[in-house]
Amino acid sequence: MIEKIILSEQDYEYLTKGIAIGVGIGTLVGLLLENVILGFASGGVIGIILSLIYSCYKKVKKNKKLAD
């Protein structure tokens, strides 16, 4: 169970890029909607969620490739 929550080096890279891109886009959207704090926070959360989904997708794809 504990192995599933440990992130690898590649997972950390996806996570940092996801946070950076999400916060950047969220800040720009927040500027347009005149609520930068909300855009910053929601962009960060969305970036984390999408990066973890992408990381899981890459793991499944890698495992499927090894099984073939």
pLDDT digits (tens, 9 = 90+) for 10-65: 889 999 999 999 999 999 999 999 999 999 999 999 999 999 999 889 888 888 87
Domain residues of the chain, as ranges? 10-62
Which one is predicted more confidently, 57 or 67? 57
CA distance 53 to 7: 13
Q: How far is CA 24 from the centre of its chain?
A: 13
Provide the Cα torsion 19, 23, 24, 29; round to 10°.
Answer: 140
CA distance 9 to 45: 20
Q: Is the pLDDT of residue 4 over 70?
A: no
Query: Structure pTM?
Result: 0.81
